[in-house]
Amino acid sequence: MRRFINKWTILGALLLIVVLWAINVQDWHQLWMISSAPDNVPIVAMLFLVPFFTWMGIRQAVANDQLIEELEADPKVAKTHHRKVEPWRPGWARELHVWPYLVRIEFLATLIVTVVLFVWSIALNAPLEEPANPNLTMNPSKAPWYFLGLQEMLVYFDPWIAGVVMPSIIMVGLMVFPYVDSNPLGNGYYTLRQRRFSLWMFGWGFLMWILLIVIGTFIRGPGWIWFWPGQTWDHNAVVFDKNVDLHDLLAQKLHLAFLAYNPWKFIFGFLVVSGFYLVGALFFHWLMTVDFKKIRLSPLRLFPKNEFEQKLLARTSLLQYLTFQFFAVSVLLALPVKLFLRLVFTIKYVWVTPWFNI
């Protein structure tokens, strides 16, 4: 009954948000023009497909976790069980051949995808435009949808950091993570219980990247100004937000004029970034070991330990641990924090140096 109420409560809240947004839409025609553009169709489809497949994966993972608990509780059944959520029944074959069972499904999927691509290519024109004209610049000028995340990152970081350093860290991190993973479980099947931390980290990074793409597609208008979805684009709009560096902000608010000059400006930024990495590392360490089911506010209990996660952490070498912490703090935490500081407090940089700005 509790799961039923929670599920319908969430659906009702989402429906209420959609209704309130639809009531406040100012320009349906412009919203349709943005959504129906050929190069934006994949993003619109992604808004529906990503939640659907995420729900499917979580649903299968929950079913597998329930099966794991049942098999752990009865070792005799674990030796003979079919190892599937749907248990083996008399008359079923215990082994299935790849052909025709698996290959048939894959062949049907290939045919369906091919038909979809044919219809797509016939119904929508390729988003090709005339040769670039330096005398006529599009406004807004947007990259293809798969580069929109990088273009949006240019708002929050130096160009070389957003265009070179951060993408390199992300790509290298994706290649390194399998080698820093010390969890032998959860390979080949969906599970939340056995790969809680890994799934949360990957899911957060993946959804954060999709968020940047959505912002660049539906929210950034002429002049790369922030317009809410459905808000009419005004090409003459001027935003008077005054971006300020963190050391200048504190120098003005706290009357610490020396922070505006080197070497204090450099030292202050170094201390802020170093403190951020320290706090971020402690935060991720807490996520690695905490048992969320045992957290209590009354009485206060914020650090209950999860025995399974502690065993995994004990299997992790110092090199694996430090490597993960560096990539996690640099991308999974720094990017949303920088986005929040820029959009809410109009803080441009937190560390200004003659060579780079962060």
Q: What integer pLDDT is reported at residue 300 of this predicted model?
A: 80
Cβ burial, residue 198 (10 Å; 0-12/13-18/19+) = middle
Nearest CA among 40, 20, 21 for reference residue 32? 40
Q: What integer pLDDT is reported at residue 6 of this predicted model?
A: 65
pLDDT in tens, 18-54: 888 888 888 888 888 888 888 888 888 888 888 898 8
- Alpha carbon of residue 128 to chain centroid: 30
Q: What integer pLDDT is reported at residue 109 of this predicted model?
A: 92
d(CA 171, CA 205): 12
Q: Where are the beta strands (DSSP E) in 64-186?
A: none
For the chain, residues with pLDDT lower than 70 are: 1-7, 80-88, 94
d(CA 158, CA 100): 54
Q: What integer pLDDT is reported at residue 298 of this predicted model?
A: 77
> Which amino acid would we find at residue 154?
L
Which residue's entry shows tokens 């070497």? 263
Nearest CA among 294, 337, 101 for reference residue 349? 337
> Cβ(190)–Cβ(64) under 8 Å?
yes
Q: What integer pLDDT is reported at residue 183 of this predicted model?
A: 84
